[in-house]
Amino acid sequence: MKKLIWAVAVAAGMVASSAVVAKNNGPSVAVIEFKNESGAGWWRGGVGWELSGMLSNELSGLGSFRVLERSKIEAVLSEQNMGASGRVAGGTAAKIGKITGAQYLIAGTVTSYEEDTASTGGGVSFKGISLGGKSSKAYIAVDVRVINATTGEIDYSRTVEGLAKSGGMSVGVSRGGFGGALSNEKNTPAGKAIRAVLVEITDYLDCVMVAQDGCEAEYGAKERARRDKTRSAIKLDD
C-alpha cells in the first residue's frame, strides 16, 4: 500500500513538474503601446501604454505566456524612436526581439469606438454621488497584430470586438479616482467594453499561439460573422 501511495505521489510530482516546464516554455511576448484611430473621447495621453499594461496583465495571468515588462519594452522602443509612430516591422522588429528576448511583439490599434446613451429620466446628484437615470452601451473594436520578432512578419492578426452596457438607475461615485489615464472609465460602459475586448484578445492569443487544439475554428466563425455584419452595414449605407 505504501509503495502504491509513493508511486502516485511521484507521478503527481512529475505531472506538476511538466506543467511548470510547459509554463516556462510558453511564447515570450512583448505588448507594445496601443494606438488609436477612433474618435474615443476617453483616449488621452498615457492610455496607449495603459492598455498595453492591462493586456500584459491578462496574458501573464493565464500562465501560458512569458510576458516582458513594459519598462523594458518602452525603453527599447524609445531608443529605436518607434514609440510614437507605431511602425514596428521588418528589421526593426527583429532588432527589438533580439535586444529584449521577445519572440513576438503584440500590437493593438483601437479602430472603432461607439457609445449610445439614452435618457430614462429621474437622474439626481448629491455630494458627488450620482444616481444616473440613463441607459448606456459602448462598443469597441481593436485590430490585433502579432509580429514575429525573428522574421518581422505578421504571424497572426484579427479584429476583436467588445460590447458592454448598463441600464436603469446606476450609481456612480465621482469623488476621487483610482489613478491612471482610464481611472474615470473604471465602472462605465466604456471601461467594461475595454476590459471585455482585452479578455477576448487574451483568449484569442492563447488559442492560436498556445492551445492550438481546434479552438481556431471558433474564432474563424466569429471573424466571418463580423465580416458579414460589416458588409450588411455597408450595404445599408449605400
pLDDT tens per residue across span 115-149: 886 644 444 444 444 445 456 889 999 999 999 98
Average pLDDT over residues 192-220: 93
Q: Which of 70, 66, 58 lies closest to 28 in space, CA to CA?
A: 66
Average pLDDT over residues 83-98: 66
pLDDT tens per residue across span 65-84: 999 988 888 877 777 655 44
Q: What is the largest CA-CA distance in the chain?
A: 77
Question: Looking at residue 167, what DSSP letter applies?
Answer: -
- pTM summary value: 0.73
pLDDT at res. 77: 76
pLDDT at res. 85: 45
Check if the beta carbon of residue 157 is closer than 8 Å to that of residue 146: yes
Element (H, E) at 112: strand 104-119
Check if the beta carbon of residue 97 is closer than 8 Å to that of residue 76: no
Question: Looking at residue 148, what DSSP letter applies?
Answer: E
pLDDT tens per residue across span 15-36: 333 333 334 578 999 999 999 9
Hey, what domains does the chain have and what are their CATH numbers? 27-176+183-237 (3.40.50.10610)
Check if the beta carbon of residue 143 is closer than 8 Å to that of residue 137: no
Q: Which residues lie closer than 8 Å to 159 by C-beta, 6 or more apart?
A: 111, 141, 142, 143, 144, 223, 226
Question: Looking at residue 183, what DSSP letter applies?
Answer: G
Question: In the predicted model, is pLDDT for residue 13 greater than 60?
Answer: no
Q: Which residues lie closer than 8 Å to 158 by C-beta, 6 or more apart?
A: 143, 144, 204, 219, 223
3-state DSSP of 62-88:
HCCCEECCHHHHHHHHHHCCCCCCCCC
pLDDT at res. 88: 66
Which cell is 158 given? Answer: 484579427
pLDDT at res. 161: 93
| Residues in a beta bridge with 165 | 137
